[in-house]
Structure 1
Amino acid sequence: MSKGPRPLIGLFAGVAAGLVASAAMAAFQAQAQKLLPDSGDEDPATVKAADAASEAIIGDPVPAPYRAPAGQAVHYIAGAVIGGIYGILTEYQPEARSGFGSAYGIATAALLDEAAVPAVGLAPAPDETPLVVHAYGAASHLVYGWVLEGVRALIAGRR
């Protein structure tokens, strides 16, 4: 039996694990948000991303009754894609699993929450964001990383 990389298994395991990890992250966020100061009526970045996609496709934002589900769809799609990347990456670079997915979770927080999302105008710049919100994002992505690695390892196995 070959011990080389298995990119298709990695992709499948990563996508499936990314979906489960996204659900765990959403559950964590639902509880953690109770501890955060009220941020007003501003839409989350996922809803803003859904609006941007809708405006690009049909010329209008997501209709009001569909805003929350559209934001959730963006969250799960992003989680599945990021999980798929992780699954393939771990097949070629096992050290990507460092800290039982912690390093990947923090890397996604840094790249997404701190860089990409503000850069495209879906969230304020990092220096305009309260420290507690940065901590919330990092903790959320740690949960994502831990669950991602746990489920990925169950599906693809440890090698």
Structure 2
Amino acid sequence: MTTRQKKLSEPTRDILKGALAGLIGGLIATAAKSAAEKVYPPHEHGEPEPRQKKFLEESLPWVLGATAGAAYGALAEIYPQVTDKYGANFGMTLMAVTHEGPLHALGLATRPEPNEAREQRSEVVTHVVYGVVCETVRGLVRRSL
């Protein structure tokens, strides 16, 4: 008895390839963002965090970076305009969504105070680094798939 497998349609395969390319791009971009934060550190946390929260803060950027990259890669297959500005727009959008949305609600990101201009610039710069690296890697990986 043989089982016949249904082939995926071309658009579905393209979206899956885009998501895979974006996932890889997101992981590498997260590493690049982490390196950029060592050079240009973002807002520092005041008091030491409990062990669980520290683990969450350290692992969340990797999960978020990979997931956002995969979603970005899939979306780029459907709507290529999201890749405008070499991914910088993606990085800025990700910063706006995460720092004003779920991360803030979970207490994992703080809203910068108006007088902390350097910290705000650090967040912008490191997120642009993430977006540009993600787009560059995504494009390279996607062309090779």
- Report the identity percentage: 28
Amino acid at match of 1:82: A
Structure 2 equivalent of residue 62 of structure 1: 52
Q: Which segments of 5 or more consecutive residues in structure 2 lack a partner in the other structure?
A: 1-8
Q: Is the 8 A contact 2:43 2:112 kept in 1?
A: no
Q: Give 1:72 shift.
A: 2.9
Matches within 5 A, 1:1-159: 6-33=14-41, 39-41=45-47, 43=49, 62=52, 67=54, 70-127=56-113, 130-157=116-143
Q: Is the 8 A contact 2:30 2:65 kept in 1?
A: yes
Provide the rounded CA distance (Å) in 2 between the counterparts of 1:120 and 1:38: 17
Amino acid at match of 2:46: G
Q: Is the 8 A contact 1:24 1:147 kept in 2?
A: yes
Bigger Rg over Cα: 2
Q: Is the 8 A contact 1:19 1:79 kept in 2?
A: yes
Secondary structure of the structure 1 residue equivalent to 2:52:
coil
Q: Give 1:31 shift.
A: 1.1
CA change 1:124–1:38 in 2 (3 A) is closer
Q: What is the CA deviation profile of residues 16-71 of structure 1, one whole-angstrom value per residue up to 9, with x for unaligned ones?
A: 110000000000001112xx78653355xxxxxxx7xxxxxxxxx529xxx45x53
Provide the rounded CA distance (Å) in 2 between the counterparts of 1:77 and 1:106: 18
Q: Is the 8 A contact 1:118 1:126 kept in 2?
A: no
Amino acid at match of 1:102: A
Q: Give 1:132 shift.
A: 2.2
Query: Could you state the TM-score of these two structures normalised by the residue count of structure 2?
Result: 0.78
CA change 1:12–1:129 in 2 (3 A) is farther
Q: What is the CA deviation profile of residues 88-135 of structure 1, one whole-angstrom value per residue up to 9, with x for unaligned ones?
A: 010000000010001111000111123332233333345577232222
Query: Could you state the TM-score of these two structures normalised by the residue count of structure 1?
Result: 0.72
Q: Give 1:11 shift.
A: 0.8
Please give the root-mean-square deviation of Cα atoms over the aligned residues, in Å: 2.8
